[in-house]
Structure 1
């Protein structure tokens, strides 16, 4: 259901102007094809002689179906989800890393691609790590080819005459498919570099990358000249990205995923010359139940091993512990092997079932931790103690992150300072004794064990735990098998610290033994492995997730185990492997379209009595930041040709969309996000049909899973609401701005309904402020109470004449909405509201808080559980009081997504577990966390004192809290407790006379409060409105952070009020906001609303 709009560059055939209605139906524009319902678009375009870019899409799908039927005919099975993705890339001529688990047909796909290309007269090279695989592949190729394809192979054990025959055919290029080993590449670099292949398949990229010169050979084999490779490598060494010449069309290079991270910078040649990086399969697809046993009881271990029986890995903290446990288990006749002296033999015995248990040492790079991929055999992982990292606390050996944290907290170095470790040690020695330093570490680092006598601290090694436990659950032949991880740990602090880190990084929880049914767990483990036996139905698929922020795309791909990244035109695509297949993540980088500025009524045409918005792709100057929509190759402001054009982004999205089985647009869950979603959707629909919308209210695995369960189509009421809001902004903004610019002779002035209304408040408040100056006296009483009294006070004594004490319960404030967060955080941290909004955006996109543009105070059951879990963790479960606060609102309030407080987050930043969080981020997060925890905590019972005092012959009433009787939410948002009054006279110890304005000036915080209170603006616009007023030079901030109008601001508002008051009054603005809300709810017709807006400003337009 289109919304009657036109989009430039959206026609799938000519790249010209098309309507969203035709794009939705998959039709080119009317110029290319006037017909409304052609049975064959390609044929109709061909007949009219208007066929252009549509040819590519027609041929793409024909080629794909041809490859698919060829594969099915030769191999006897259809393509798997992984193979469908790879086939579509091959057809588009793209090089890539095959990121996939074992058993999904990587080698089969490589062979079938070579055979398919051979039938088209194209050459391929298949490279394998061993002679055995070369032979095996040659046999299979001969079997599948029916002798019609020339297949040439080489391996060292060939007979002399076979080698001679190979050499002759190799020299004469008399082959379609060449099969050889990695060793052959190293020995024949020069010869291979002279060859040109359409397709090169590398089965074991690790083996090839061992010699960096092999990279150059592979690149030359697909047709990249040596001089280009040298230029690219030179740029990489200088830290620059090299742009491959556009006229260079290389062949296709496909490599299997690496097991180790490629070393050095030479592999970056793949990035710059073939647009992909060598990825590693870092699948975090796991299905593990984590159980903690709170004692290191060998008897309990024996009991557990008898339940599990087979497929068990045991990790100890030291080799000594491992040896002791090994001997102990041998005495009980367990079939156990160790890995510190005979790894290969014992592992092979375990693999074939001769051993039931293997014991190894906890180590991140240990063979048993990383080098084992055997999910069919490994079912249970047992940790004899928490994997940990130990650090010395001696000044000369203490780690940098500990020294820096302590010294920053003590104010001995500034937060932004970054001295080297030796300088930190020097500062520590100058200001602290060794004992004081250790005490500070104890005080500041929770979840660590500090041993005074050894001067040592121990921190849980969560990454080793994740790696090792992951051995029990992997994707096997497309099935995610279940595993169990058991940790024997007595120390509560270390355990809680591990639990917190595991939750943050892997979003997995550890349960206690009391919550576990071992019998059921073992049954689940065994049943999951039975599914991989016999014939399997492939359910894997490829999924493309489109978000608007690159940070969000990065965060999501990291959560799911990013395996590789590649550049597609001007955007980055991340790739991850999950239990259901391959997931691609990419970002639009904000809006892709905006209203044109020329033609129609400021970018809106009128056709048959209806308004038709016309959109063009957004362009942004990379040098000066100016945004525009006109089709021009230079910036209209600074004449730079360094332009980022969203047309390139849209084209890239269309190309990527061809790869995926399903596309989900996951832009922000608000009207702006919905409009971006429709802009992208209508552009992609002519190329692909499987396209839907999801909303993510938190950027976590849980948020992604929940969004996947609620797939929908675009909500057109939200899209229409955004169009109405944007059109009214454009019409009123362009008209009033034009008049301002003409009147004042300045092209950078602007006006708008909300903007000008808020400017009016600031101007009028300044006048009220100036008239409200009065005398005040601050009195400091002998009991420490401060009293502010109007007038000049001559008395030296305050008399308490009436006194009453009452007990009452005080409920917490609700959690933050956008307006209350901007207002309070800005005020408390003395930050501008736009800076606060940017920090909230960061925290949301990095997966720490829920969506931050919200008017709702609602807290879901999941949110309440976050609070319950945290309170239980800190031993305060008794004050938990789950509250939903509201039943309305699509969004929740702003809250943390995990039960992790700011201090824990800071520790993980210092340890390097979290990157790119500044002190400001942590302070904002702390306020959000505490406000949320308070909102889910019990009421506070207080004793309040109500006093009447006499002063200067007048009586004043004072109310104050004098005692907290029962704690609750005040543990997170403290209350002010004042000294008691008694029935007596109190001496005034100190007086301070001053003048004060009774009408306060606005601050950025109070402007946002006022906008919310008066119903002007929306969560997504509060900060933007304030920022525009500053940018236009209408207001400034004084040294007390108060917002005041400039002379220009006063003149602009006076002119608007005098000439165009009806367009900028608060009442008109509020009424329009209400109408737009009705459009959003589907209660008002959006065309009728646009007509109303047009009629209202028609006279303004006609004024000239």
Structure 2
């Protein structure tokens, strides 16, 4: 009897590497070379079902995952390649979400754990990739569990509260575990501003000059007898100035000292978003999209694509020894030994509860100068790369040194003794300022006024009073949040993590809760209504301390110190009853539909403003019987230079704002820059906003400072 033939077992060969994006796949593939097949998963390959909660609250919050239809071909190909590969490397991003994507890939494509390894690199360069592949590891299930817990918590909140808002307010609203806290911060700031009552106060400055001297200086009144002057009205100020006019003035004290100004730390995710907002005008979303491109790799003429910056989702300020050595060599060579500290500066991570620490955001090679690769980058890619390059180089340089001088002047009258002070500084050694200086929001700038102090001043020297300069002021309300200051506030409260800031800010704007105006975030009426309902019925969800504590609990899961299902259960035991109460007790807050003031061209009923997936639109009040709709056009009060029609604010499909004629397509006028109503003083043409300080004419090309336009208005008046 013949022995049965054994089925031939196909021998595995080759190595399969899986990353998230095609761009990253191209770059990684170039460095690995032959023998490696690199494929992109194009992000997540599994997710919770959209049509249902997909979390079994009765069975340990077990999530129900599904491969989306559009990802099935990707998973099928990866599965086929994995069955043939001898070794499989999961090279997704080096954070919790990347770890979760790697795990989902294994589960969805049924990849065998025995031949699968996880590799992590924080920059896409040849040395970093080689190092990573020499030290593979297993998937860290603690990181996966932390990300899964975050996803489940967010799903529980969103799918429990959103339907209540649809019923009580209007459809297509949503509530999120972290976005609702951000909305509350913006709404409460707006309420502070609305409730603010300005108070009048005055300051007095004195222009003084040494007896016989030629150069004067200005000192500010800081003391009246032994107290701070209370100048709350014009009458009180005039009484003080009248008395000061009779005073005898002399220098009481001159203090000279040195002040050292240290450079800003290397960028982490939040500080990069803040600085790009202040200095470049980028939204957080735009910053992260550009940083992703720089990280994944671009062709800058080095024989193929290469990563230009390290991983951009980080809360660590650490810098590798290799990078420190390279930047210190560049500083010594390009700027001189005086600009190089004896010991590399060390920076503390400022983020509360920082856990996903690896390395700061920096160029992968500081020798890759911004100007040298400018031609290979888009305008915005170059600007962001240059910002990161300058910040990193400056962070490793010597501090700037200032010579400071403070002059205390005393003025004596028969009634009172007045103390005045003038402070000034000069740069003795520029240090890191030769490369980079941190930008600040207007509301973060110091009120301290630095004045020019003339040489030759001496203690006890008599001063002549040249003039008194009283000035009226009013206290100012707290400033509205910019994207930069909101990110900083979220970070300080420990809310969110590096990968979430951009998504938080984008979501509250896309939902119609918040809008941007002059780079500031303002709540809409809908946003204020939703916030008030959440504060009243879900106090934990919108409590900053509660949300920060939840982030710390997730960090405990990531460190293997807590079980993810226990963290979710502790939350849901409090949250579940709140949902039931809100369903029964939350009052209806449906606003009446706002009428446009025109009749429907199809049926004659009133046209009204509604909200849809992409924001406002106009429809018939007789819906669903009549389905007439129109785009919502935001009129800005400026006439079109081509046909005299109204110029309206529009948005591209990607959400970018532009301005065009309401008579489109009959009139094709468009402008990326905002037009203003005032005509050009030179030719009468249309003016558009060029930047904060000036406008430009679209007809003659002439530019004007805002002060020049104000002067023209004054002359006409």
Q: TM-score, normalised by structure 1?
A: 0.43
Residue 751, structure 1, aligned to residue 175, structure 2: yes
Residue 549, structure 1, aligned to residue 27, structure 2: no
Superposed displacement of residue 777, structure 1: 7.4
CA contact (8 A) 2:495 2:548 kept: yes
1:3-82 paired onto structure 2 within 5 Å:
62=8, 64-65=10-11
Q: Tell me the SS of whatever aligns to 1:997.
A: coil
Q: CA 1:878–1:616 in 2, change beyond 3 Å: closer, same or farther?
A: same
1:663 to 88, 91, 94: 88
> 2:470 & 2:8 partners in 1: Cα distance?
90
1:299-698 paired onto structure 2 within 5 Å:
542-558=14-30, 560=31, 577=33, 581-598=34-51, 602-605=53-56, 609-618=59-68, 645-686=70-111, 689-698=114-123
CA contact (8 A) 2:48 2:64 kept: yes
> 1:1031 & 1:1102 partners in 2: Cα distance?
28
> 1:1047 & 1:953 partners in 2: Cα distance?
54
Which residue pairs with 2:286 in the alignment?
835
Residue 1069, structure 1, aligned to residue 547, structure 2: yes
Runs of at least 5 residues in structure 2 that lack an aligned partner in the other structure: 1-5, 208-214, 223-230, 298-306, 350-354, 440-448, 458-462, 584-717
Q: CA 1:980–1:653 in 2, change beyond 3 Å: closer, same or farther?
A: same
Residue 970, structure 1, aligned to residue 423, structure 2: no
> 1:604 & 1:850 partners in 2: Cα distance?
36
Q: CA 1:941–1:587 in 2, change beyond 3 Å: closer, same or farther?
A: same
Q: CA 1:981–1:655 in 2, change beyond 3 Å: closer, same or farther?
A: same
Superposed displacement of residue 605, structure 1: 2.1
Residue 906, structure 1, aligned to residue 377, structure 2: no
Q: CA 1:896–1:774 in 2, change beyond 3 Å: closer, same or farther?
A: farther
Q: CA 1:1013–1:761 in 2, change beyond 3 Å: closer, same or farther?
A: same
Superposed displacement of residue 1009, structure 1: 0.4
1:163-178 paired onto structure 2 within 5 Å:
none
> 2:524 & 2:220 partners in 1: Cα distance?
35
1:1004-1015 paired onto structure 2 within 5 Å:
1004-1015=483-494
CA contact (8 A) 1:685 1:691 kept: no
* Cα deviation digits, residues 762-784 of structure 1 (max 9, x gap): 11111222305345779897979
Which residue pairs with 1:1020 in the alignment?
499
> 1:665 & 1:985 partners in 2: Cα distance?
77
Q: CA 1:1037–1:975 in 2, change beyond 3 Å: closer, same or farther?
A: closer
* Cα deviation digits, residues 113-150 of structure 1 (max 9, x gap): xxxxxxxxxxxxxxxxxxxxxxxxxxxxxxxxxxxxxx
> 2:467 & 2:27 partners in 1: Cα distance?
59
Deviates more, 1:885-894 or 1:709-718: 885-894
Residue 941, structure 1, aligned to residue 401, structure 2: yes
Residue 1034, structure 1, aligned to residue 487, structure 2: no
Q: Tell me the SS of whatever aligns to 1:766.
A: helix
Superposed displacement of residue 998, structure 1: 4.0
Superposed displacement of residue 698, structure 1: 0.4
Q: Tell me the SS of whatever aligns to 2:361.
A: coil
Superposed displacement of residue 675, structure 1: 0.4
CA contact (8 A) 1:548 1:590 kept: yes
> 1:851 & 1:1074 partners in 2: Cα distance?
23
CA contact (8 A) 1:943 1:962 kept: yes
Superposed displacement of residue 1101, structure 1: 4.3
1:1044 to 490, 501, 522: 522
Q: Tell me the SS of whatever aligns to 2:64.
A: strand
* Cα deviation digits, residues 20-40 of structure 1 (max 9, x gap): xxxxxxxxxxxxxxxxxxxxx
> 1:1087 & 1:886 partners in 2: Cα distance?
33
Q: Tell me the SS of whatever aligns to 2:10.
A: helix
Q: CA 1:740–1:826 in 2, change beyond 3 Å: closer, same or farther?
A: same
RMSD across aligned positions (CA): 3.5
CA contact (8 A) 2:48 2:65 kept: yes
> 1:788 & 1:728 partners in 2: Cα distance?
56
Q: CA 1:955–1:1051 in 2, change beyond 3 Å: closer, same or farther?
A: farther
Residue 706, structure 1, aligned to residue 140, structure 2: no
1:764 to 188, 193, 216: 188
1:836-985 paired onto structure 2 within 5 Å:
836-846=287-297, 847-881=307-341, 882-885=344-347, 890-900=357-367, 904-910=369-375, 914=376, 917-948=377-408, 960-964=424-428, 966-974=429-437, 979-982=451-454, 984=463
Q: CA 1:935–1:908 in 2, change beyond 3 Å: closer, same or farther?
A: closer
Which residue pairs with 1:1053 in the alignment?
531
> 2:474 & 2:574 partners in 1: Cα distance?
47
Q: Tell me the SS of whatever aligns to 2:189.
A: helix
> 1:979 & 1:712 partners in 2: Cα distance?
60
> 1:788 & 1:1035 partners in 2: Cα distance?
43
> 2:386 & 2:379 partners in 1: Cα distance?
10
Q: TM-score, normalised by structure 2?
A: 0.65
> 1:714 & 1:827 partners in 2: Cα distance?
39
1:142-221 paired onto structure 2 within 5 Å:
none
Superposed displacement of residue 804, structure 1: 1.4
CA contact (8 A) 1:941 1:967 kept: yes
Q: Tell me the SS of whatever aligns to 2:101.
A: helix
Q: Which has the higher helix share?
A: 1
CA contact (8 A) 1:544 1:585 kept: yes
* Cα deviation digits, residues 714-748 of structure 1 (max 9, x gap): 1000000001111111101211212111111222x
CA contact (8 A) 2:76 2:109 kept: no
> 2:159 & 2:130 partners in 1: Cα distance?
43
> 2:418 & 2:71 partners in 1: Cα distance?
69
How many residue pairs match? The answer is: 514
> 1:688 & 1:1080 partners in 2: Cα distance?
21
Q: Tell me the SS of whatever aligns to 1:658.
A: helix
CA contact (8 A) 2:219 2:421 kept: no
Which residue pairs with 1:361 in the alignment?
none
Which residue pairs with 1:163 in the alignment?
none
Superposed displacement of residue 973, structure 1: 2.5
Superposed displacement of residue 978, structure 1: 5.5
> 1:865 & 1:706 partners in 2: Cα distance?
18
CA contact (8 A) 2:264 2:438 kept: no
* Cα deviation digits, residues 785-819 of structure 1 (max 9, x gap): 89899977776999876431102433322111111
Q: CA 1:647–1:971 in 2, change beyond 3 Å: closer, same or farther?
A: same
> 2:151 & 2:54 partners in 1: Cα distance?
11
> 2:60 & 2:29 partners in 1: Cα distance?
43
> 2:480 & 2:543 partners in 1: Cα distance?
20
CA contact (8 A) 1:783 1:979 kept: no
Q: Tell me the SS of whatever aligns to 1:1062.
A: coil
Larger radius of gyration: 1
> 1:935 & 1:830 partners in 2: Cα distance?
22
Runs of at least 5 residues in structure 1 that lack an aligned partner in the other structure: 1-58, 66-83, 86-541, 561-575, 620-644
Superposed displacement of residue 692, structure 1: 0.9
> 2:393 & 2:36 partners in 1: Cα distance?
35
CA contact (8 A) 1:945 1:980 kept: no
* Cα deviation digits, residues 275-318 of structure 1 (max 9, x gap): xxxxxxxxxxxxxxxxxxxxxxxxxxxxxxxxxxxxxxxxxxxx
> 1:1055 & 1:780 partners in 2: Cα distance?
53
